[in-house]
Every structure is written in structure tokens, then in C-alpha cells.
Amino acid sequence: SAKERGKRRCVRYAQDMDARAVENARLSAELRQAPARGELFLLYQPVVTLPDGELSGVEALVRWRHPERGLVSPAEFIPVAERTGMIVDIGTWVLGEACRQMAAWQREYGPQAPAKMSVNVSARQLLEPAFAQTVAGALREHGLRPSDLLLEITETAVFDGGLALETVKAVQALGVPIALDDFGTGHSSLGLLRTCPVDVLKVDKLFVDGVTGDTEQAAIATSLAHIAQALRLRAVAEGVETPDQAERLYQLGYRLAQGYHFAPPLSPDNIERILQTRTANPGPESWEPSALA
Ligand code: C2E
Ligand code: MG
Ligand code: MG
Ligand code: MG
């Protein structure tokens, strides 16, 4: 009967839910062990200057090499880590490892080293009152200057105000610059740029995708370039995949970009290959706010 069919469907549905809950629980139990087991590692995606495509900085992007599952993408495990609070420990590991790598590159390559190391920070980490101390500790341990680092946070993380905003201000007080990541996709409020003055806007791939056409995204990419210029912030165009996009973004005033067109996230070895072959190019200056035109 229809009633029995319905019941069977419910049972199947409940079994699926159970399976998913079990799977999630297993994933999070395994994730908890991952840092200690050395299963996490970082790739580094170049951030380049336009129009020359020279490496200016790098963004650290975490990866999980699971013994059976293979490579698990952050899109899968970062949400789990955020829900369970494990992101706090993972984030501390990421920060320490990124700082260690940056210091090693500075020692070995001097002015050829990347000018900035970007590290992603979750909203959940900003709720930790000790976060700024963690950052200060990592800088001290590895002998880095605050300006060697760039912390990427999302608009949504600070939009709720309160504790997260306090933490951001404490980090800024250390002299560490802040970027708003995926800018334009969150609960954007331009007022946020007043309550929480940041240093860099990372304009989301969504707007870069449409930048060569006569699209709303193109209009927004244009406006964001103007806003960045008016507020004397650096704008980084994310997810640049074609030479046409790079060219157009340059015309619009973008001087920093990131995306597969230039380089995907790379192993430290592959970053070093770039550092070894490139000629000295303007480092930290290229990240400072541009003089008002
Ligand atoms: P995100 O911070 O916005 O990083 C950019 C993402 O876009 C990266 O994905 C990068 O590989 C990808 N990407 C770069 N260029 C292109 C392109 O031209 N085309 C396309 N289609 N994609 C491009 P990934 O590494 O998978 O990271 C995804 C997200 O996971 C990051 O987005 C960030 O929100 C989060 N994440 C990664 N590492 C960390 C971390 O250490 N801590 C925290 N809290 N979040 C992280
Ligand atoms: Mg990012
Ligand atoms: Mg981003
Ligand atoms: Mg993103």
C-alpha cells in the first residue's frame, strides 16, 4: 500500500541520515588526530602583481592527506573543523607552519622571498580571546615582522560585531595587516570598512568570472576597484583564469591578482623553483596603499 511504501521511504531516509551522521562522526574523529599524525600540510598559491605576473606574496592553503581517503579538500573538512571547534587547533598549526616556512624563505632567499604570507582565519578563531596572543607568539617564535603576515578573514566573521571585532582590532594593534576574503559575497556592508578598517580587499572570483563581459559582476568588479582606490586599500582579484581577465582587471586598476592563470596552489618546492629563477622585484612596497591619484 501507499502507506507501507511511505514507511519504507522513511526507514530508508532514516538509514541515510544515520549513515551520514556516522560518517561525519568518523571524519571528525580522524580530523582530531590529523595534526598530531602529521597528515596536514600547506600549499602556497602565488599572489602576483599586474600586469607582469611576478610573484609578490603567497597564500597558505591547508590540505589533509588522509591515509585511506587520500587528499581531502578544505571545502570538506574546514566546515567540520568549524562546527566542532577543532579549527582553533588546526588554525594555530597552520599559522605556526606558515610562519616557519616564511622565516625559512626569508633566511634562504632574502629580498627574493615572498613579501607577504597570507593565512586564512575562521570566524570561530576570532572568538578566542587569546587569538592575538597566538599570532604574536608565532611571529616572535619565528622572528617575523607583523607586516610579513596578512590575515584573511571574511566579512561575515566580523559583521556580527562584538568579540570577533575586538579580536581583529587586537591583531591590528600588533601591526598585522588584515584582508577581507571573498569580498562581495558575504553580508557586505561598506560601513564595515569604517568600523573595521582593513588593508586589503580580496575581490571574490564571482566578480572576476564576469569581468570581461557586459555583466553585473563586471560592474561590481569595477566599483570595488574604485572603492579600494578611494579608501586607499589594496585590491586582490581572486580566481583569475584567463589572460583576458588579467588584462581587463589591470585596466580597471587592479594591481594584485591570484588564480590558475598565474599558478595553482603549489608545494614549497615549486615555490622555491620560482624564487630561484625570478629577478629581484619590488617586494613589500607593492602591498602598501597606493598614493591617492
Ligand atoms: P579562499 O581563502 O578564498 O582560497 C581560494 C580558493 O580558491 C582555494 O581553494 C584556491 O585553490 C582556489 N583557487 C585559486 N585560484 C583559483 C582559480 O583560478 N579558479 C578556481 N576555480 N579556484 C581557484 P582551496 O585551497 O580548496 O580552499 C578553499 C577554502 O578553504 C579557502 O578559500 C578558505 O576559505 C578555506 N581554507 C583553506 N585553507 C584554510 C586554512 O588554513 N584555514 C582556514 N580557516 N580556512 C582555509
Ligand atoms: Mg583566502
Ligand atoms: Mg578567497
Ligand atoms: Mg574563496
DSSP conformational letter for 51: T
Q: pLDDT tens digits for 262-287?
A: 999 999 999 999 999 876 555 545 66
| Average of per-residue pLDDT across 129-147 | 98
Mean pLDDT of the chain, nearest integer: 90
Q: Is 181 in the pocket of ligand 1 (CB under 6 A)?
A: yes
The residues facing 256 across adjacent strands are 49, 236
CA of 235 from ligand 1 middle (Å) equals: 17
Q: Which of 40, 61, 151, 185 to mutate to test the pocket of ligand 1 (most atoms within 8 A of CB)?
A: 61
The CA dihedral of 41, 237, 139, 37, to the nearest 10 degrees, is -10
Q: Is 265 in the pocket of ligand 1 (CB under 6 A)?
A: yes
* Predicted ipTM beyond 0.90: yes
The closest alpha carbon to 186, from 159, 210, 163, belongs to 159
Helix (H, G, I), strand (E, B) or coil at 236: strand
Residue 262, amino acid: F
Q: pLDDT tens digits for 189-205?
A: 788 888 888 999 999 99
Residue bearing the CA closest to ligand 1, atom 42? 120
Closest ligand 1 atom to residue 61 Cα is: 38
Pick the ligand that lies closest to the CA of residue 80: 1
CA of 98 from ligand 3 middle (Å) equals: 17
The closest alpha carbon to 28, from 59, 60, 72, 94, belongs to 72
Q: Is 72 in the pocket of ligand 1 (CB under 6 A)?
A: no
CA of 143 from ligand 2 middle (Å) equals: 24
Do 224 and 201 touch, CB atoms closer than 8 A? yes
Residue 207 has pLDDT above 80, yes or no: yes
If one compares 293 and 87, the residue with the highest pLDDT of the two is 87
Q: pLDDT tens digits for 104-121?
A: 999 999 999 999 999 999
